Structures are given as C-alpha cells and as structure tokens.
Amino acid sequence: MKVVVFSIIALLLLGNHTIELHKAVMKGDKEKVATLLAEGTNVNAEMGGWTPLFAALTTGHRDVAVLLVEKGASVKAKISSGDTPLSLAVLCMAEEVANFLRQHAEVEGR
C-alpha cells in the first residue's frame, strides 16, 4: 500500500515525464530518453535527489550519460553525499566519460 501511495504522490509532484525519463535512463533506453527530451522533459529533473545524469552514470549507461550532457544536463549538480557527476564517473565509469564531463564542466562554468 505504501508503494502505491508513494507512486501516486511522485506522479503528482514530479509528473509522468520525469518518472518515465528516469526509468528510461536506468534501462539504458537511449531512444526513449531522446524522445522524452525532445518532448520537453526537463533534463535535470530530480527524482529522489538524483538527476537523470546521476542515474545514467551509476547504472553504467555511458551513451545515455553523453546524450544527457549534450542535451544540457548539469555536470555540476550535487547529490546529498556531495558527489557530482564527475566524481561518480571517476568511481563508476571509464576515464573517457570523466574527461567528457570535465570538458563540459569547464564550459558550464563560464
């Protein structure tokens, strides 16, 4: 019962597109992610304190992470632990993704 109530509250507060974006990111469904973003879903929409970029990095979907950044995902966002997408990339991903995020962090900082 608690899960149903939480799901309904999340849907009302976040909107269906935010939930669908996070689901698609965690599944690694790049096509669905691209479609949702093209429809106007917020690329930085948080769910449980995490943006889609954090979800992509921790689930190992490099191609989705790159797409999110190319579509405007903040590489300077922080989660409650203080981690940023870059720190998670270093922990969870290949160095190439960390370098990609470093380049975008420099651009975002301007």
pLDDT for 4 equals 47
User: Is 81 among the domain residues?
Assistant: yes
| Predicted TM-score (pTM) of this structure | 0.76
Q: Which domain holds residue 69?
A: 16-108
Q: How confident is the prediction along the chain (110 residues), in pLDDT tens digits per residue?
A: 554 455 555 544 456 788 899 999 999 999 999 999 999 999 999 988 889 999 998 888 889 999 999 999 998 888 888 888 888 777 765 677 777 778 877 666 54
User: Is 76 among the domain residues?
Assistant: yes
User: Is 7 among the domain residues?
Assistant: no
User: Is 4 among the domain residues?
Assistant: no
CATH number at residue 28: 1.25.40.20
Number of domains in the chain: 1
pLDDT for 52 equals 95
What is the b/e burial string over 19-58, where b = at least 16 CB atoms within 10 angstroms of the residue's CB? bbbbbbbeeebbebbbebbeeebbbebebeebbbbbbbbb
User: Is 11 among the domain residues?
Assistant: no
User: Is 3 among the domain residues?
Assistant: no
